[in-house]
Structure 1
Amino acid sequence: MPLLDIQKISIQFGGLMAVSDFSMQMEKNDICGLIGPNGAGKTTVFNMLTGVYRPTRGKILFNGKSIAGMRPYNITSEGIARTFQNIRLMKNLTVLENVKISYIYQTKCNLAESILRLPRYFQEEKEIEEKSLELLKVFHLEDKKNELATNLPYGEQRRLEIARALATQPKLLLLDEPAAGMNPQETQKLSDLIRWIREKFDIAILLIEHDMRLVMGVCEKIVVLDYGKIIAEGTPEEIRNNPKVIEAYLGEEAAHA
């Protein structure tokens, strides 16, 4: 049974079919890419996977369970986390607070225990802080724990957003243009980070990305969208040499990158 099994999902906004009959499968520990021109429907696919949109038709199975139309927080609880093209940190909270808040899905205290500050509340607070600090250490952000997120350099903000997503303990991590705004050196570090996350956290990763060097270097499988429809899927080598992809998206220069 695949970890993720998307079966011919489509979504229509008024008279516009934004995504049509999109299907793909991912196994545990896969690193896959979703590419295509701007407006091809890539982020719309992510929004359907995370409960922002409900598919007009089709099925989304995660670990064999139907999640199409679930609320976003329920999908997070099932084991899917995401980052965004435009970083969405709580910028007026500290680095540590940004990670701690992601553990809300795992708390067991009820409202009364939290309000009355009963022993279990303090025990959970302690455990969450310890887990958050450990995660920050893994991402080399522990020395910034008390800084406001808004004061971090761009690359560190991106790492913090990924750390916060991983705090939900996902089985599948969705990265929406993680290399946006990065220089070539930062992009290379990101490529290494993505592989390391897969091994360290034992998860699958699906990314939307326009940087073809990153996509071709890190992904084992790539799906190409154009006008909401899949025009190609395969290995990086197959995609690089696919005439339809070159015509619609890559161009000759990128194809030979």
Structure 2
Amino acid sequence: MDKAKPLLNVENLGISFGGLRAVQGVDLQLFSKEMVGLIGPNGAGKTTFFNMLTGVYEPTEGTIMLGNRKLNGLSPYKITQGGISRTFQNIRLFGELSVIDNVKVAYHSQAKHSLLSSIIRLPQHFNGEREMEEKALAFLEIFQLQRFKDEKAKNLPYGQQRRLEIARALAASPKLLLLDEPAAGMNPQETKELMNLIALIRETFELTVLLIEHDMPLVMGVCERIYVLDHGQLIAQGTPTEIKNNPKVIEAYLGEEVS
């Protein structure tokens, strides 16, 4: 995609709940293969913003464009098919399914064989299932999860569950990956490994990543640009160095260090 043309273009985005304006007037652009952070204090509207991008909430004002396609009003399923995948603050895996089946679930929206071929067990069904199995195994290898492929997802250690959730999101072949606090609940070693993993993801899959995260060293270490929300409004944007030294950002974090 032309660097001059945004992959994602958000203009004047806002949403109200019962008269309360949770997010208002947000403009944001993401370009191809960028790694961008979205930060802000608790309650700033970051996850609400993600929910609008993915169709969980419909904005009450503004527009969301992915390439030339307007996303306003589309269902989450259609938005995923269109090229946006996400992870969640609280891990949402299919706990009773195996690790490999959690990844295979993401491929079903792209399956080349029809429902009819699956029902009557035509060769296309078995070919499609074999292809999904091979792709899922390849993803598990990238994320160093292949040894757990037959384990129930709920039995994985916490850090490995996070890896699996990201692997599943990537299996949907997104153009844009939204990561909602992927380091939440991780110890320092797991966070360091996650930072390396996020860098590997962009290099391997050549996609755009928008990251919500409270771990400032992680954000500053992997993101090229950062947007800052406070009380639902965009208060700053810029490079990590610019954000670190921005008085409005420092005030929003009540004097806490942003590095």
Matched, 1:144 2:148: yes
**2-structure distance, mates of 1:146, 1:250:** 47
In structure 2, the partner of 1:227 is 231
**1-structure distance, mates of 2:158, 2:253:** 28
**2-structure distance, mates of 1:108, 1:196:** 28
% same residue: 61
1:154-177 per-position Cα deviation (integer Å, ceiling 9, x unaligned): 111000000000000011100000
Task: Name stretches of at least 5 consecutive residues in structure 1 with no aligned partner.
Answer: none
SS in 1 for 2:144: coil
In structure 2, the partner of 1:58 is 62
In structure 2, the partner of 1:118 is 122
In structure 1, the partner of 2:84 is 80
- Counterparts of 1:36-185 in structure 2, within 5 Å, are 36-185=40-189
TM-score (norm 1): 0.97
SS in 2 for 1:163: helix
**2-structure distance, mates of 1:134, 1:191:** 21
Instruction: State the Cα distance separating 1:250 from its structure 2 match.
Output: 6.2
SS in 2 for 1:251: coil
Instruction: State the Cα distance separating 1:108 from its structure 2 match.
Output: 2.7
Q: Which runs of 4+ in 1 moved over 6 A?
A: none
Pick aligned residue for 1:6 from 5, 10, 31: 10
Instruction: State the Cα distance separating 1:111 from its structure 2 match.
Output: 2.4
Task: Name stretches of at least 5 consecutive residues in structure 2 with no aligned partner.
Answer: none
Instruction: State the Cα distance separating 1:69 from its structure 2 match.
Output: 1.6
**1-structure distance, mates of 2:31, 2:76:** 22
**1-structure distance, mates of 2:151, 2:6:** 41
In structure 2, the partner of 1:217 is 221
1:51-70 per-position Cα deviation (integer Å, ceiling 9, x unaligned): 10111011111012111121
Instruction: State the Cα distance separating 1:109 from its structure 2 match.
Output: 2.5
**1-structure distance, mates of 2:254, 2:114:** 52
